[in-house]
Amino acid sequence: MTDHLDLVPLGFFPTPIDKWDNLGRELSISLSAKRDDLSGLGGGGNKIRKLQYLLAEAKAEKATTLITAGATQSNHVRQTAAVARKHGMRPLALLRGQLPPSPSGNLLLDELLGAQLEFHDRDDFNAMVVDLMLERKAELEASGERAYVIPIGGSSPLGALGYVDCAKEMREQFDARRQRHPDYIVVAMGSGGTYAGLVAGCARYLPNTQVLGIVITTAAFASRDCAASLLNDTARLAGVDRRWDAEDLLLNYDHIGPEYGVPSQEGNAAIRKVAEAEGVFLDPTYTGKVCAGLIAAVGETIPAGSDVIFVHTGGSPALFAAR
């Protein structure tokens, strides 16, 4: 159980479950969306649930600065910067890539939040980023500050507890409506925390529901072995008495597109399809590719007639920077 662990309330929870009848009819499934894009602070998104636990630990350590990292259009960096400002801390973010001529999308919002941004244009960024963040932490603490390091995506076992809570929240919503529990939950698999938390949470609260992760990156942390390790550590912390091997995970690696953060043709088609069918905006890095994966999975991994929840993890600001 996560009830004994401290968290700092940050979001507008419970987020709604939105019935997507038009797209569901087209796909021959019963389709709804868990609208975590509406979680509130900093424009909303899935990182808010993770940050509730991570911020509690940062405050317990009396941190004055939150240090994190991500891609130039990182949703996680935006949300972390907003949380830092809301709680009187300074946000420092290491970003992979180059400073563009003019900021747009998430990067513009980072600047509005006054985040200190460092750009690192290097191929080994993911391999080196932890060391780089620890270097910044040491530098800050040598000058008298206290810094707390948040991993990419907030994807530690502690952060992933936010999505154990999300599974519990959905169970309560289904039961309040006397609604059958879904056959499948479909969600992005990037840094792994959202996926790990949902799988562990479903094992406790929605045991007949399978979680399909649509992988959107080739980074090492999205490998089956890394995903299983994070999942097992999360389950242990949450008190879930189950362990998973890498081959137990329901993951699809077919929808990454050209590379992480680069829009794909099928992802863009899914963004347009959802906008026209349901009046909801997805993003080109995560949810567009995930929805494309969901569409392709119907009739294969997901049988026609299934009850499916699509987790909308946010990210629409990146639409305004899409190439």
Q: What is the pLDDT of residues 264-274, one digit of tens each?
A: 999 999 999 99
Q: Look over the chain and give the mean of its residue pLDDT values, rounded to a whole number.
A: 96
Confidence of residue 32 (pLDDT cuts 50, 70, 90): very high
- Annotated catalytic sites, by residue? 74
Q: What's the predicted TM-score (pTM) here?
A: 0.96
What percent of the chain has pLDDT above 90?
A: 94
The yes-or-no verdict on residue 255 having pLDDT over 80 is yes
State mean pLDDT over 57-81.
97
The yes-or-no verdict on residue 309 having pLDDT over 80 is yes
Q: What are phi and psi of 87, to 5 degrees?
A: -110, 25
Residue 5, pLDDT score: 75
Residue 123, pLDDT score: 85
Q: What is the H or E stretch that residue 161 is in?
A: helix 157-176
**pLDDT per position as a tens digit, 204-254:** 999 999 999 999 999 999 999 999 999 999 999 999 999 999 999 999 999
Q: Which residues are within 8 A (CB) of 316 and not within 5 positions of it... i.e. 6 or more apart?
A: 37, 281, 282, 283
Q: How far is CA 294 from the centre of its chain?
A: 17
Confidence of residue 322 (pLDDT cuts 50, 70, 90): low
Residue 1, pLDDT score: 42
Do 321 and 106 touch, CB atoms closer than 8 A? yes
